[in-house]
């Protein structure tokens, strides 16, 4: 997903230890999080042209910083990702995966009542407009292997390692 697909949403760049990300939303809810490399080159140059982050974006930025510092294990944000009813159902199921744990595509298919729909879960995962916050990085292959991620497998591995390290520090 590229920045030009965000339509009329207000989008705002956020620098993180995992690379530059972009948040998009309005006063009521967050709609998108673009991963590093997904936002195009113009986003950070245009940041100074606008004033006043929407409330949902400001709250998300604060919580992302807390997540990356290891202080936050669960996001509590108003979310309004745009997608089909099936995608929405899968994305809601992703929110139930605990911090630092993983589930397979088959596990998610079972959780949404469609045990034979692992591939459809994968497609919905691939279109998740709020990665990290809606933790699609926590979904792995049936054998535990890392499989597709919009930000690349390296970022997926780094996010999972970050969560394991945070849990290990907390004891």
The set of catalytic residues is 136
**Which run of H or E residues covers position 10?**
strand 10-16
Helix (H, G, I), strand (E, B) or coil at 106: helix
Pairing of strands 103-104, 139-140: parallel
Helix (H, G, I), strand (E, B) or coil at 148: coil
Instruction: Give the largest Cα separation in the chain, rounded.
Output: 48
Terminal Cα distance for the chain, rounded: 37
By CB atoms closer than 10 A (0-12, 13-18, 19+), residue 8 is: exposed
């Amino acid at each position: 997903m590229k920045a030009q697909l965000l339509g009329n949403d207000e989008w705002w760049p956020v620098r993180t230890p995992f690379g530059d990300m972009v948040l998009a939303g309005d006063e009521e809810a967050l709609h998108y999080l673009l991963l590093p490399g997904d936002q195009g080159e113009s986003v950070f140059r245009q940041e100074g042209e606008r004033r006043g982050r929407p409330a949902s974006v400001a709250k998300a930025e604060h919580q992302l910083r807390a997540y990356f510092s290891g202080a936050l294990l669960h996001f509590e944000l108003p979310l309004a990702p745009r997608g089909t009813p099936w995608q929405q159902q899968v994305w809601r199921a992703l929110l139930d995966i605990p911090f630092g744990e993983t589930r397979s595509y088959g596990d998610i298919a079972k959780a949404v009542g469609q045990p034979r729909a692992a591939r459809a879960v994968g497609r919905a995962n691939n279109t998740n407009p709020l990665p990290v916050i809606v933790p699609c990085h926590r979904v792995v292959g049936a054998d535990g292997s890392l499989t597709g991620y919009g930000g690349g497998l390296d970022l997926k591995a780094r996010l999972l390692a970050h969560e394991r390290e945070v849990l290990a520090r907390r004891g």
